[in-house]
Amino acid sequence: MVNFATAPAQVSDPPDLTAALVEVFSAIQGEGLNVGTRQIFIRFGICDLRCRFCDSAHTWKPSQTCQIERSPGERDFLTANNPVTSQQLLDWVNQQNQPGLHDSISLTGGEPLLHAEFLAQFLPLVRDRTGLPIYLETAGHLPLLLQPILPYLDAVGMDIKLPSVSGESHWSAHSEFLRCCHSAKLEVFCKLIVSAQTQTSDLVQARQLVAEVHPAIPVFLQPVTPLGTAKDLTAPRPEQVLAWQALMKANLKSVRVIPQTHKAIGQL
């Protein structure tokens, strides 16, 4: 006879969590430290920021559907319903993962960390299935949501939002976020969008923020790509960019100027 009072409880599998996607596709990385490399991009929907220069405003709110590329680089998209499960996403990424083609998987958005619980379930699976490094593109302002997925990341590209350009200000959160990445020994770099309206005081504060964590952390100054929706933001003049690079290099070892190269080659 079974004693129901002492019988072990049945352990069930954890629920398959879901996330709001925008698209999954294969492309050339156009920004930052991984520029020119081939990546599988997983673009998540939803963002809690409203940067003036954002060229992905369509990702700010969740959509009922997402676009999934069937063959890497062919742009033969199919439409799927949101939200998606980790198993669905795993299958779509695996479909993209042709041997030797991709250098890494890029988590982008929107803000991927708003799906941190989903990522904590999904990332171990996709690392095991593909063997590809995981690269997180983030606004770098949600350090608490970063913590659960740190063990599954290989590289992080974090924005430092300059208030004079983005309209956002998150200095304290940026500092904590960068320290978390550096302490975890991840490959990390910072990206600063600059425009003709950039205030020198913002750059000085960003320089200090990075240098206090480690002066060898690479910094990328990215001239803004002007948008019709942000008529008050214009691309910086060459002399401005040269002066800003010199300013940043006074305390930092690696400061590069790289525009959005994917737009230069027509890969939008």
- Extents of the domains making up the chain: 18-260
Q: Please report which confidence band the pLDDT of residue 94 belongs to, taking 50, 70 and 90 as the band edges.
A: very high
Region 79-100: mean pLDDT is: 96
Matching CATH number, 18-260, of 1.10.260.40, 3.40.50.300, 3.30.2130.10, 3.20.20.70: 3.20.20.70
Q: Which residue is associated with the tokens 């890969």?
A: 267
pLDDT surpassing 90 at residue 230 = no
Q: Which two tokens stand for residue 150?
A: 């740190």
Report pLDDT for 10.
Answer: 53
Indicate the pTM of the whole model: 0.91
Q: Which long-range contacts (CB under 8 A, 24 or more apart) does 93-97 make?
A: 93/24, 93/40, 93/42, 93/126, 93/129, 93/130, 94/129, 94/130, 95/70, 96/24, 96/25, 96/26, 96/40, 96/69, 96/72, 97/40, 97/129, 97/130, 97/132
Report pLDDT for 186.
Answer: 97
Please tell me the distance from the alpha carbon of residue 229 to that of residue 246, in angstroms, as a whole number.
31
14, containing H or E segment: none
Range scoring the smallest mean pLDDT among 26-30, 34-38, 51-55, 260-264: 260-264
Report pLDDT for 55.
Answer: 78
Q: Which residue is associated with the tokens 């740190």?
A: 150
Question: Does 210 or 228 have the greater pLDDT score?
Answer: 210
Please tell me the distance from the alpha carbon of residue 94 to that of residue 126, in angstroms, as a whole number.
8
pLDDT surpassing 90 at residue 53 = no
Q: Which amino acid is at 159?
A: D
- Please write the tens of the pLDDT for every residue from 143-181: 999 999 999 999 999 999 999 999 999 999 999 999 999
Report pLDDT for 232.
Answer: 73
Q: Which amino acid is at 62?
A: P
- Please write the tens of the pLDDT for every residue from 207-227: 999 999 999 999 999 999 876
> Residues 140, 142, 144, 145: is their CA dihedral positive or negative?
negative
pLDDT surpassing 90 at residue 3 = no
Q: Which two tokens stand for residue 39?
A: 């990546």
Please tell me the distance from the alpha carbon of residue 222 to that of residue 241, in angstroms, as a whole number.
9
